[in-house]
């Protein structure tokens, strides 16, 4: 599939970037688009970016272990041999 952009400024910018990076216009545009996507995605709130991880954690089975003050107190009482 091809992308046909008929804009003189876009062509000029792609040519400048290609010259500076010693690449083709296609490579320059591809790299610029990838960087922009990364930048835009990183601007999403952490809550949205962390959703896949939260879903994965939620899928773990419940162990029945209660994590409370008593649990941590018990961990602290262990002696190391």
What pTM did the predictor assign? 0.52
Report domain extents, the chain.
Answer: 6-75
Report the distance separating Cα 29 and Cα 20, nearest Å: 13
DSSP label at 55? H
Per-residue pLDDT tens listing for the chain (81 residues): 787 889 999 999 999 999 999 999 999 999 999 999 998 888 888 898 899 999 999 999 998 888 898 888 888 886 555
Predicted pLDDT at 28: 95
Residue of 6, 8, 26 whose CA lies nearest to 18: 26
Question: Are 25 and 15 within 8 A, CB to CB?
Answer: yes
Predicted pLDDT at 44: 84
């Amino acid at each position: 599939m091809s992308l046909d952009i008929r804009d003189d400024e876009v062509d000029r910018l792609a040519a400048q970037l290609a010259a500076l990076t010693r690449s083709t216009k296609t490579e320059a545009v591809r790299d610029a688009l990838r960087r922009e996507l990364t930048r835009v995605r990183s601007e999403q709130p952490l809550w949205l970016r962390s959703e896949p991880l939260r879903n994965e954690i939620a899928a773990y089975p419940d162990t029945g272990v209660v994590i409370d003050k008593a649990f941590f107190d018990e961990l602290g009482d262990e002696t190391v041999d």
